[in-house]
Amino acid sequence: QVQLVESGGGLVQAGGSLRLSCAASGRTFSSYAMGWFRQAPGKEREFVAAISWSGSSTYANSVKGRFTISRDNTKNTVYLQMNSLKPEDTAVYYCAGGSTYASSSSRYDYWGQGTQVTVSS
C-alpha cells in the first residue's frame, strides 16, 4: 500500500511559479510510475505529467514547456515545477502512483488528496 500526500499549492498571479510536492510512503516508491493530474470546477480530471521509475517523462500539450516533473527516490518524493502559470491552470492537482507509466488516470492505483492551485489574472 502506498499513501501519497501533496503540498505546495496556493494562490499565484499569472506568470508566476509554484512547485508541488508529493511525498509517498512505502519502500517501493522507486519502482512506481508517478503522475500528476488536475481537475478544474465542472470539468473532468485531466492528465498533466508523468514520470517513469527510470526518469522518462511525458506531458500534456497544454503544459509542455512550462511544467517539469521530477522525482527524488531518496526522499520518496515527486515534484511538479510549474512556471509561466495561466488562469486556466487553476485546478485541484492530484498526485498518483502506479505500476504503469501512462497518461490515463485509470492506470494509476494510488491517489493523493489533492492540493488547490489558483492562478489569478
- What proportion of the chain, given as a percentage, has pLDDT over 90? 92
DSSP 105: G
Four-point Cα dihedral 115, 12, 91, 62, nearest 10: -120
pLDDT at 27 over 90: no
Terminal CA-to-CA distance of the chain, rounded, Å? 40
User: All 3 cell numbers of residue 96?
Assistant: 498518483
pLDDT in tens, 46-71: 999 999 999 999 999 999 999 999 99
Stretch 75-101: mean pLDDT: 96
